[in-house]
Amino acid sequence: MSTPLKQATDGTLSRLDHAILDPAEEFFDAIGMMQGETAPLKRAAVGAALGYAIAYTMKPGFAFDPVTGKPLPWKVTAKGDEAATWFPAWAFSVLPAFVFGAMI
């Protein structure tokens, strides 16, 4: 018998895996980043570099000051700063580094 949660997510994660994670695994395998003890660290470094390049090329307004182009401070650490954001510029490096290093 299937539960409501199983019915709601049936196939969704599988489609996500086939659409995103499988091509990424094949890419990293093709360039030799799926073998060895340091493979997760190498993939995390590639993810961080890719995220950094995307963030500092696009400079989205919710993470960067539109006038100066500098990264906005994080709301958690910026006491009373009105321009602070919940999604800082460094998160663009951390998220792909985690996904590439730990999830693939």
Radius of gyration of the chain (CA): 18
With a CB cutoff of 8 Å and minimum separation 6, the contacts of 55 are: 63, 89, 92, 93
- Give ∠ CA 104-19-2 in degrees, rounded to 5: 90
pLDDT band at 26 (very low <50, low <70, confident <90, very high): confident
51: amino acid identity, one letter: G
pLDDT band at 103 (very low <50, low <70, confident <90, very high): confident
Q: What is the pTM of this model?
A: 0.72
Structural domain boundaries in the chain: 4-103
Q: Rounded distance, CA 53 to CA 59, Å?
A: 10
